[in-house]
Amino acid sequence: MHVHILGICGTFMGGIAAIARAAGHRVTGSDRNVYPPMSTQLAALGIELTEGYDAAQLWPAPDVVLIGNVMSRGQPVIEALLDSNIPYTSGPEWLAREVLRQCWVLAVAGTHGKTTTSSMLAWILEDAGLSPGFLIGGVPGNFPVSARLGELPFFVIEADEYDTAFFDKRAKFVHYRPRTAILNNLEYDHADIYPDLAAIERQVHHLVRSVPGSGLIVSHAGDANLQRVLKMGAWTRIEGFSGEADRGALWSARLPEGGDGSRFEVLEGGNACGEVRWPLIGAHNVDNALAAIAAARHAGVPPARAIDALSRFAGVRRRMELRGTVAGISVYDDFAHHPTAIATTLDGLRRRVGGARIVAVLEPRSNTMRLGVHGATLGASLQAADEVWLYAPPDLGWDAHAAVAGLGSRAHVAQQLDQLLATLGGSLREGDHVLIMSNGGFGGLHTRLLQALQVR
């Protein structure tokens, strides 16, 4: 079968392409921005790429066209496709029909932590010899790829709540029909798609409705929004988790006094299962680990085996990733782009570095951030930093100075990236930890800053 993918260079659709190729299909695709590393990865798989969305790419006609959610009405290839008789569908629907229907699907949903928890879970199953398939929205350190077909029956998927396609405005995860579902947390996000928190809660409940009675829902016991969703109706056994043992969850953790999350004891029903020792930090990663351990147990991996596997978990690219240290100044790259994720990431780093100076640099790049939805809570989320730099390009659309005014003289706003780089680089000193946060490339700021520090 010839599968043609529109919007192929995104992480999700690129993963679909790799899985389709592994399943034996001929795969081609197009995107507006065809460049490394995704273009190189796809070319290595023998996938022919077209730059742009012109209609000519539909002839000779493929057997089916998969449409990424980056595509919209008015684009020439979309209008030509709708005028033709060529079958088309979304990436999630195709994946569900062609791959997931024969799998034990383990889906990881939540506002935060999906990529990391999916990577943990896939690694635990891999380490146990189960060779799972997976599709993850990031680059897991324990695997050379972010997606693979794997061996039956297990398939781990990052269950994204973003919409499916221009013709299917449901969340992607309603297509996946998981037997094991992790609900990490739930907050308002994706303001360009959902008008309010209640709209997202309804989508999550659609996911809950699709888990069979013989399956398992692993849910954060301390998340009031998730509790509200589950009270709408749940027909599946639920196991709660929380890093805070006093919440009464089945799965909890015991940390050393003042611990940074790099070492903790895993408790099931108050009974110790073993101790995780790993390079990750932060209370959020303790929660992620508990969820992955619980889900893996449902798939047949004993908790002690899962705990042992996590001691060799290599993390995920762009999740508190140390990009380099120059002149005693450490520069980290992190994907955090929501106030809760920003605060938990800073808390983990503070626990790790103690009284050393933390310099937080934030690009408000996500659609929700750019709409100004988090303006009232952004400043508070950055309180743990000693210095804060907020990148506010002229087209941001809201008052960045007002958002961080509560931080006083610690806060700085830059409208130009070159200005930010020059001023930031000149202000750093030995022993600083620079945490750069964005869900995009931030203009290569990480590399440019390290280069500037080498020559200053």
pLDDT band at 62 (very low <50, low <70, confident <90, very high): very high
Place of tokens 């659709």: 13
Residue 439 clears pLDDT 70, i.e. is over it:
yes
128-154, pLDDT tens digit by residue? 999 999 999 888 989 988 899 999 999
Query: Among 162, 110, 154, which Cα is nearest to 135's?
Result: 154
Residue 309, amino acid: A
Residue 38 clears pLDDT 80, i.e. is over it:
no
Residue 125 clears pLDDT 70, i.e. is over it:
yes
Facing residues of 254 across strands? 265
Residues 105 and 155: beta-carbon distance below 8 Å: yes
338-378, pLDDT tens digit by residue? 788 888 889 888 988 889 999 999 888 776 677 666 767 78
**Residue with more model confidence, 453 or 365:** 453
Per-residue pLDDT, 367: 67
> CATH assignment of 2-89, given 3.30.70.260, 3.30.70.20, 3.40.50.2000, 3.40.50.720?
3.40.50.720
The CATH class, in words, for 99-310 is alpha beta
176-218, pLDDT tens digit by residue? 999 999 999 998 777 778 889 999 999 999 999 999 999 999 9
CATH homologous superfamily of 321-455: Mur ligase, C-terminal domain (3.90.190.20)
Q: Which two tokens stand for residue 387?
A: 């210095």
Domain boundaries, the chain: 2-89, 99-310, 321-455
237-281, pLDDT tens digit by residue? 999 999 876 677 999 999 988 788 899 999 999 999 999 999 898
Residue 92 clears pLDDT 70, i.e. is over it:
yes
Average pLDDT value for the chain: 91
Mean pLDDT calculated for residue range 42-55: 92
Per-residue pLDDT, 139: 81
